[in-house]
Structure 1
Amino acid sequence: MMTIRQPINKSRRILIANRGEIASRIAKACKELGHVAIGLWTDNEVHATHLQFCDEWVHLKGSTNAETYLNIENLLKVIKENDVDAVHPGYGFLSENADFANALNEAGVTFIAPHAEAIKLMGDKAVSKQIAKKAGVPTVPGTDTAVPTVEEAVKISNEIGYPVLLKAVAGGGGRGMRACQNEEEVRANFEAVGRESLAAFNNGDLLVEKLILNPRHIEVQILADKNGNVYHFYERECSIQRRHQKIIEEAPSPFIGDDEELRQKVCNTAVQLAKAVNYDSAGTVEFIMGEDKNFYFLEMNTRIQVEHPITEEITGIDLIVCMIQSALGDDLGFPGQEFIRRSGHAIECRICAEDPITMLPAPGHVTGFETNFPQGTRFDHCLYKDLEVTPDFDPMVGKLVCKGIIRDVAVRKMRAALDGLFIEGLKTNVPLLKVIMNKKNFIDGYYSTDFIAVEKPQEEVSTELNHMRFYEVLAGVEARKMGM
């Protein structure tokens, strides 16, 4: 992987305000750049895997999200006590929290993320939609301000035509969203979606938008520096989702395919929007694309994305390293957009501790873990034998990434990689992912966000564990350790 290296004036002490595989990923990038990586451990993660890659470990008291990684007061105390120069939030938790960004700024600590105003503006779906319109970015027909009453929602829905989507102004991750096929469903769902949004995001305001049928979820990775330069790193397709949450991503998009004119239009539009808010970090502009290949702005994630590895694989550029350089005011070293090129095809499967049929979280205890992957496989994870996956944090335990010279090769490698991933004692979605990888419409690259609802791969899942195969692999690993 290509890394843009710049001279380091001094080593900075960087706190990683996160856990799991992304914390490991950030720690490695910090050390590569010559900085001190400071990791956090909590009461229920005393043996967290990311700590082995950190230079220093700090105890963050508590076990729940609210007590630990979402507790701004406690984090600021840790930052002060440990002479922290900068904080990398990873994704989730406080990564898109403008209040945290402002608090760090007041404390004289660098936030390895965009400036607080960009986080605030793009974190509000109504405001971000207004900004997109002003910047000439196409948006989905519907409201760009909160709809105050159900009667107003019905009126707007009747004007733009059904189906419509009731969507939370704040938040993300698929929560606070509900499709409505007619006026009766708008009336039935309006208050329920508002309550869900209030509980999840402390904001019950809703938008009403036209629901795009058979949509593709296309997003563009961008990166900007402190000098006003904004670059794109091409697109990713994230249309395989459950409950509006991604489980498989790939780059480039098979739906865009060889349409380079469309690809450049989408990517340039993302850059256009980032410039409209003076963006200065890594981020992702997400679009929804209809079957007619018209695309509309969906939202902007002002952080590094879970699926950033597939972009790194096709461009050869380390996005986490570049993100740190940007925050510290270092020159990224790109002569221009033409320097960023793509090669091959990459696919990512999110490995989650969840029931492969119901797709609901399934906490548990890992009793065995081994891998037997083909060449061209990358596995970013937090797994180890005896790991206790608790309900306190996100159920994702790893990201399996395969790259091929063409898409068919990447798919083939992913099938082999999933067959070579052995996690005992824990229910995971691996059996579901295996079924998807063999579905004709996925193989053909013809799928939308409705894939799971239409194809129902969960109905073909086999939950029978292949214990003999696991122990064969385990025996092979032990034999290699003994030099046999």
Structure 2
Amino acid sequence: MIRIPKNQKRRILIANRGEIATRVAKACRELGHTAIGLWTDNEVHATHLQFCDEWIHLEGSNNKETYLNVPKLLQVIKENNVDAVHPGYGFLSENSDFARELDKAGVIFIAPNTEAIRLMGDKAISKQIANKANVPTVPGTDTAVPTVDEAVRISNEIGYPVLLKAVAGGGGRGMRACNNEAEVRANFEAVGRESLAAFNNGDLLVEKLIVNPHHIEVQILADKKGNIYHFFERECSIQRRHQKIVEEAPSPFIGEDEELRQRVCETAVKLARAVNYDSAGTVEFIMGEDKNFYFLEMNTRIQVEHPITEEITGIDLIVCMIQSALGDDLMIPNQEFITRSGHAIECRICAEDPITMLPSPGKVTGFDTNFPQGTRFDHCLFKDLDVTPDFDPMVGKLICKGIVRDVAIRKMEAALDGLFIEGLKTNIPLLKVIMRNENFMEGRYTTNFIKDENPQEKVALDFDHDRFYKLLASVEARRMGM
């Protein structure tokens, strides 16, 4: 029997907000550490605070003034005797400069080592490392392309279509597909400007565009002792504006091809080993219809979609991430110890118009749930929550697990029907259409799903008031024990 040792109690600052801050706070307290939460001027009643042991006011109301303000965060860390910082995802989670400042201050960054963050944060350098490690990469450049003429020359050489991609990009920004020389010339400077504005780096790569691709990623975890494990793959091909909205594990495209699954997972571990990785991370691949796969990028942080991996493996990745950073034993004896069971699907619940898929800020005037068994809801919702344009529109993640994929889909349909958020538009109607789409149900979809299937066009424009009030009555009856 494996026994978890009692470790030194640490003061851990959670440099994030929303559902991931709640998730990290719970993991900190489970391990016996002190969870310290932040709240900003427009998040006085933030839900994650109730799971923290201490609370600190971070003055300001937007990203630049708060969660991206390195000097302010460093001052908070110093004044409150913080031992470690968990960055969650987004914000400063992959910022090697912030990691370096913490290192100088003697504060543990619950993330991989600074050098791994730096190397994998640059798409050109990470591609060079992948090539040296014999990890397959998409045909194209692994250094920045200096001029539009050079971009055209490379594009003509590798063949169209091609992708202009920001060296320092992420989250789907700084990318533009080009089908011919004229489009490369028309887009090169524009993508460079976008990249410079978004990432303070206007350098671009040119890569072959894989047609009808699948976005496959592998969850990995490493400790400070040189052990690196994989936790199988996730399929993240349903995206809008190159940003994921539905993820599932395992991948229906890989299906029962265990040889392919093993190759993809072992390739991810190989890349992590090439940069002496030592935390939770995700290696992302693009996989063609022929099932050939190519390294895309590595996210040196925990991913939004990590819960589906937790559901099929039964291992708490946030707890393991904290243990790794503190130098504690992960209690994983070998790769064979990590097994998978069942199928899990995650839907990102966003304050968005379900038809335009654009952010739709507002105030939550009512919130309730009526979920089936096997449902997990990581969220930051409460009545009177103001969802502002200052932060990401995602307000929760709905996760359903079934013994097989069909069961997981059925449970997700029921869970979406049982999630009530009043006062603002959400993408729930769009997610319902996706769950009932024939190609999705059959597992026949690629990253072109939204463009090809146009599920937004099938979203009901008229609200079904009769159905809503019947469901609301059932919730009230359940509350009253009827």
Q: How many correspondences in the alignment?
A: 482
2:227 equivalent in structure 1? 229
Matches within 5 A, 1:216-365: 216-365=214-363
The one of 73, 77, 80 equivalent to 1:79 is: 77
* CA displacement, residues 17-54 of structure 1 (integer Å, 9 cap, x when unaligned): 00000000000000000000000000010000000100
The one of 32, 36, 39 equivalent to 1:38 is: 36
Query: Structure 2 counterpart of 1:278, which letter?
Result: N
Matches within 5 A, 1:463-478: 463-478=461-476
- The 3-state SS of whatever aligns with 2:141 is coil
2:88 equivalent in structure 1? 90
Residues 137 and 294 of structure 2 are in contact (CA less than 8 Å); yes or no, is this contact kept in structure 1? yes
The alpha-carbon deviation at position 399 of structure 1 amounts to 0.4
Residues 11 and 34 of structure 1 are in contact (CA less than 8 Å); yes or no, is this contact kept in structure 2? yes
Q: Is residue 124 of structure 1 aligned with residue 150 of structure 2?
A: no
- Tell me the distance in 2 between the aligned counterparts of 1:468 and 1:62: 43
The alpha-carbon deviation at position 335 of structure 1 amounts to 1.2
- Tell me the distance in 2 between the aligned counterparts of 1:469 and 1:285: 43
Query: CA 1:4–1:135 in structure 2 vs 1: closer, same or farther (change >3 Å)?
Result: farther
| 4+ residue segments displaced more than 4 Å | none
State the TM-score, normalizing by the size of structure 1.
0.98
* CA displacement, residues 147-188 of structure 1 (integer Å, 9 cap, x when unaligned): 000000000000000000000000200000000000000000
Query: Structure 2 counterpart of 1:320, which letter?
Result: I
- The 3-state SS of whatever aligns with 1:433 is helix
2:447 equivalent in structure 1? 449
2:432 equivalent in structure 1? 434
1:28 equivalent in structure 2? 26
- Tell me the distance in 2 between the aligned counterparts of 1:375 and 1:287: 32
- The 3-state SS of whatever aligns with 1:409 is helix
- Tell me the distance in 1 between the aligned counterparts of 2:263 and 2:413: 33
* CA displacement, residues 46-100 of structure 1 (integer Å, 9 cap, x when unaligned): 0000001001110001011000000010001111111111000000000000011
Query: CA 1:248–1:466 in structure 2 vs 1: closer, same or farther (change >3 Å)?
Result: same
- The 3-state SS of whatever aligns with 2:169 is coil
Query: CA 1:196–1:325 in structure 2 vs 1: closer, same or farther (change >3 Å)?
Result: same
The alpha-carbon deviation at position 440 of structure 1 amounts to 1.1
Residues 39 and 56 of structure 1 are in contact (CA less than 8 Å); yes or no, is this contact kept in structure 2? yes
- Tell me the distance in 2 between the aligned counterparts of 1:178 and 1:41: 37
Structure 1: 5+ residue stretches without partners: none
* CA displacement, residues 422-457 of structure 1 (integer Å, 9 cap, x when unaligned): 111110111111111111110110110011111111
Residues 35 and 53 of structure 2 are in contact (CA less than 8 Å); yes or no, is this contact kept in structure 1? yes
- The 3-state SS of whatever aligns with 1:171 is strand
Residues 95 and 117 of structure 2 are in contact (CA less than 8 Å); yes or no, is this contact kept in structure 1? yes
Query: Structure 1 counterpart of 2:335, which letter?
Result: Q
* CA displacement, residues 243-292 of structure 1 (integer Å, 9 cap, x when unaligned): 00000000000000000000000000000000000000000000000000
Residues 237 and 247 of structure 2 are in contact (CA less than 8 Å); yes or no, is this contact kept in structure 1? yes
Query: CA 1:360–1:4 in structure 2 vs 1: closer, same or farther (change >3 Å)?
Result: farther
Query: Structure 1 counterpart of 2:195, which letter?
Result: S
- Tell me the distance in 2 between the aligned counterparts of 1:458 and 1:381: 24
Q: Is residue 180 of structure 1 aligned with residue 178 of structure 2?
A: yes
- Tell me the distance in 2 between the aligned counterparts of 1:424 and 1:471: 13
Query: Structure 2 counterpart of 1:282, which letter?
Result: A
Residues 161 and 180 of structure 2 are in contact (CA less than 8 Å); yes or no, is this contact kept in structure 1? yes
Query: CA 1:5–1:86 in structure 2 vs 1: closer, same or farther (change >3 Å)?
Result: farther
- Tell me the distance in 1 between the aligned counterparts of 2:336 and 2:238: 30
Q: Which of 407-416 and 222-231 deviates more? A: 407-416
- The 3-state SS of whatever aligns with 1:273 is helix
Query: Structure 2 counterpart of 1:326, which letter?
Result: S
Residues 4 and 332 of structure 1 are in contact (CA less than 8 Å); yes or no, is this contact kept in structure 2? no
- Tell me the distance in 1 between the aligned counterparts of 2:145 and 2:470: 59
- Tell me the distance in 2 between the aligned counterparts of 1:159 and 1:437: 41
- Tell me the distance in 1 between the aligned counterparts of 2:308 and 2:294: 23
Residues 112 and 278 of structure 2 are in contact (CA less than 8 Å); yes or no, is this contact kept in structure 1? yes
Query: Structure 1 counterpart of 2:332, which letter?
Result: F
Residues 370 and 475 of structure 2 are in contact (CA less than 8 Å); yes or no, is this contact kept in structure 1? no
Query: Structure 1 counterpart of 2:397, which letter?
Result: K
Matches within 5 A, 1:7-22: 7-22=5-20
The alpha-carbon deviation at position 481 of structure 1 amounts to 3.7
Query: Structure 2 counterpart of 1:24, which letter?
Result: T
- Tell me the distance in 1 between the aligned counterparts of 2:139 and 2:382: 47
The alpha-carbon deviation at position 463 of structure 1 amounts to 3.3
State the TM-score, normalizing by the size of structure 2.
0.98
- The 3-state SS of whatever aligns with 1:192 is helix
- Alpha carbon RMSD of aligned pairs, Å? 1.2
Query: Structure 1 counterpart of 2:84, which letter?
Result: A
The alpha-carbon deviation at position 14 of structure 1 amounts to 0.4
- Tell me the distance in 2 between the aligned counterparts of 1:154 and 1:43: 49
2:201 equivalent in structure 1? 203
1:111 equivalent in structure 2? 109
* CA displacement, residues 92-121 of structure 1 (integer Å, 9 cap, x when unaligned): 000000011011111111000001100000
- Tell me the distance in 2 between the aligned counterparts of 1:219 and 1:51: 32
- Tell me the distance in 2 between the aligned counterparts of 1:171 and 1:67: 22
2:148 equivalent in structure 1? 150
Query: Structure 1 counterpart of 2:350, which letter?
Result: C
- Tell me the distance in 2 between the aligned counterparts of 1:109 and 1:249: 34
1:214 equivalent in structure 2? 212
Query: Structure 1 counterpart of 2:55, which letter?
Result: W
- Tell me the distance in 1 between the aligned counterparts of 2:97 and 2:466: 52
The alpha-carbon deviation at position 305 of structure 1 amounts to 0.1
1:134 equivalent in structure 2? 132
The alpha-carbon deviation at position 8 of structure 1 amounts to 2.6
Query: CA 1:5–1:348 in structure 2 vs 1: closer, same or farther (change >3 Å)?
Result: farther
The alpha-carbon deviation at position 468 of structure 1 amounts to 4.0
The alpha-carbon deviation at position 4 of structure 1 amounts to 8.0
The alpha-carbon deviation at position 5 of structure 1 amounts to 6.3
